[in-house]
Amino acid sequence: MMRRKLVAGNWKMHGLRAQLPEIEAIAAAAAANPSVDAALCVPYTLIHPAAQVAGALPIGAQDLHEADKGAHTGCISAPMLVEEGATLTIVGHSERRGDQHETSHDAYMKAAAAHRHGLKVILCCGELEAERAAGRAERIVQSQIEKSLPDDADPSWLTLAYEPRWAIGTGKTPTPDEIASMHAILRAKLRMMIGEEKAEGVRILYGGSVTGANAAQILALDNVDGALVGGASLTAEKFVPIIEGAASVS
């Protein structure tokens, strides 16, 4: 099955209104590469202003609370994200798992909440460097998917992202064989859980030190359907070459 490439940027805790021209420039580049899907997940404070200048470029959130409302100080719900103009959200990101001690069940509940309110979901999984060194990477990632994949998972709204936690922001990148192997394992796991037809439609992104220099090589690999990009998505200068790299192999 031919799956369209998706290049999604995660701005993390970066971005003020002064950076809105970068979003406009990225949106223009995305429009100029129609064979590729692109999106930006920005801080909550930028969702509404970004959506006003992004045109057809989808603007998303980086997290959400599983409840629609309640006594959850500082948290943001799916209805709030939708009202601000978000059309997607990330859940289960490795930094949330590590820094906020979130579990795969948390990711499961958040994905369900997002889908309930019409948001598309990028569901993340990935191992620590020590887990890979111990030969446990495959087992860890499969377990995360088993515990976090929503019951009604469907390619119309769900995307997976494999992000080895030791490669995020470090400049380290798994070898092409290691990336292709893990993505094949994820595809096989999806087939077991949701059936052949749906599994073939789910996009699996790679995340971890993706740059304009290595994007085309990584995105040409089997079962790599795009990229989840951190720091390199903050400026058009760095992010646009990744979009163009995706277009070159689409």
Which residues are known catalytic residues? 93, 163
155 class by beta-carbon count within 10 Å (0-12 exposed, 13-18 middle, 19+ buried): middle
Q: Which of 45, 22, 27 shows the shortest CA–CA distance to 37? A: 27
82 class by beta-carbon count within 10 Å (0-12 exposed, 13-18 middle, 19+ buried): middle
- CA-CA-CA-CA torsion sign (38, 54, 43, 156): negative
What distance in Å separates the CA atoms of residue 206 and residue 216, rounded to the nearest whole number? 12
